[in-house]
Structure 1
Amino acid sequence: MPFAVVLWLGEEMPAAQRRAAQARFAAALVASLGDAQLVLPTYRAYLRIVAAQGTGSAEGIDAEQLPDDQRHVFENWRIAEHDALTAVFGPHRQMGEALYELQDVHTS
């Protein structure tokens, strides 16, 4: 894959379990967005949208107020993120269970 997932979990986890969780997270992002090549550009665009809105987090953004192209990226990433978190924690996950970062494997 052209990206790597780094999960920061709230508890210590054996390395093999962490790698498996990160692989599930990555696979869910790819499945949701349709292609591994779309993950990093979509993630980076999403982060730019959140930063430009000045809310400090995605929760404070009203997607309906975004221009169509930004709304499309924003909503697609939120769906992909939800799918990835569900793949790792299941459907009854708690908010704040994990933080994540995506890295470009070609520059990391």
Structure 2
Amino acid sequence: MHHYTVRIFHSEDVSEAERDQAAQRFRTALDTSLGDASLVAPVYRAYLRLLQIHGDQLRPWDLDPSEQLLADQWEAAELAATQATFGAERYMGDAHFELEIPPP
């Protein structure tokens, strides 16, 4: 069960079925990279907190080792999901995604 929703946005004419397939590829890659679908929401929330605190600062951020591990894990998972979704679909090259995470 997914504890989040992926919305795919794009600038070209893509069918609802193609958009659904892209969202499924994104979820599968994200879940696999983080280890389980249940980890996506808490890891993403924690990453968003780091962005709120450090987002305006140049990288690397001044993080403790556990925060750095979390940031690295999220960024690697997001990259894997983005590549799985948009890399193979050239018509979605300008597309992007949005995660909708329910409140804790």
Alignment TM-score > 0.5, same fold: yes
What residue in structure 2 maps to residue 41 of structure 1?
A: 42
Count how many residue pairs are aligned between Structure 1 and Structure 2. 99
Q: Contact 1:50 / 1:61 at 8 angstroms: preserved in 2?
A: no
What residue in structure 1 maps to residue 71 of structure 2?
A: 74
SS at match of 1:102: strand
From 86, 90, 101, the counterpart of 1:89: 86
TM-score, scaled to structure 1: 0.79
TM-score, scaled to structure 2: 0.82
Sequence identity percentage: 37
CA RMSD of aligned residues (A): 2.2
Q: Which runs of 5+ in 2 are unaligned?
A: none
Q: Which runs of 5+ in 1 are unaligned?
A: none
Separation (CA, whole Å) in 2 of partners of 1:53 and 1:16:
38
Cα distance, 1:98–1:52 mapped onto 2, change above 3 Å? farther
